[in-house]
Amino acid sequence: MTRTALVTGAARGIGAAIARRLASDGHAVAVLDLDAGSCADTVAQITDAGGRAIAVGADVADADAVDRAVAQVVAELGAPTVLVNNAGIIRDNLLFKMSVEDWDAVLSVHLRGAFLVTRAVQAHMVDAGWGRIVTLSSTSALGNRGQANYAAAKAGMQGFTKTLALELGRYGVTANAIAPGFIQTDMTRATAERIGVPFDDFVAAATREIPVGRAGTPDDIAAAASFFCREEAGFVSGQVLYVAGGPRA
């Protein structure tokens, strides 16, 4: 059955990989990011492969923009019953150097954004009697030096997810979270630049601590999202899956 999926932060990286994977699974996909133009490559990759996708521009922390974006998805692709809350930013710093603005920005995009988009979409899931919500957490939820804001946001995502599972389960809606470990993306490249380490060296150092002996890729996370969004995953809800190449961060 073809369903409509909405993936936030899908212009690149993990979000783009999830959008492509859900399209290959047969979903029509709304590729949402801050600027619709930045979504063009992801949309083209999906449509070139024979799938259906549209680009949607919205700031997930802006309630009015989110409502307009969801209305666009409904009008152009149909009511979304699959949602992946992936949008996120980093503003890393040690606590004593972290500004209030950097704290607020990270919490706003991750937590406020997930709340606003989920609130806007859940009514369509309830009406359909079926829905899948996947929210991106991180191994940083367990604590990570220099990421007090990001760690707090990603831990919050887990509590948010478990509460959604309790509230929405009776309507046929599941909610689960994925907590990636070290994944090679623009975000991890930015972290390497911030601490002044060549990216190849940064990856090599991280890999030495990963039991499976390699860094993760966006496709690793997309595979987990694909599972949670399946019909067969209907008895899995309120869970946090650590996709980190081993049992701990």
Is a pLDDT exceeding 90 seen at residue 2? no
Residue ranges with strand state E in the chain: 4-8, 28-33, 53-57, 80-85, 131-136, 173-180, 240-243
Is a pLDDT exceeding 90 seen at residue 239? yes
pLDDT digits (tens, 9 = 90+) for 100-134: 999 999 999 999 999 999 999 999 999 999 999 99
Architecture of the domain whose range is 4-181+219-241: 3-Layer(aba) Sandwich (3.40)
Residue with tokens 């961060």: 249
The pLDDT of residue 125 is 98
The pLDDT of residue 194 is 81
Q: Are 144 and 249 in contact (CB under 8 A)?
A: yes
Domain ranges of the chain: 4-181+219-241, 184-215
- 171 given a catalytic annotation: no
pLDDT digits (tens, 9 = 90+) for 10-61: 999 999 999 999 999 999 999 999 999 999 999 999 999 999 999 999 999 9
Is a pLDDT exceeding 80 seen at residue 232? yes
What lies within 8 Å, CB to CB, of 5 at 6+ separation is 19, 22, 27, 28, 29, 30, 80, 82, 83, 84, 229
The arithmetic mean of pLDDT across residues 163-175, rounded, is 98
The pLDDT of residue 190 is 84
From the list 150, 160, 182, 242, the catalytic residue is 150
Phi and psi at 146, nearest 5°, equal: 85, 5
71 C-beta neighbours (distance < 10 Å), count: 11
The pLDDT of residue 249 is 55
What gap in Å lies between CA 87 and CA 159, rounded to an integer?
Answer: 17
pLDDT digits (tens, 9 = 90+) for 60-106: 999 999 999 999 999 999 999 999 999 999 999 999 999 999 999 99
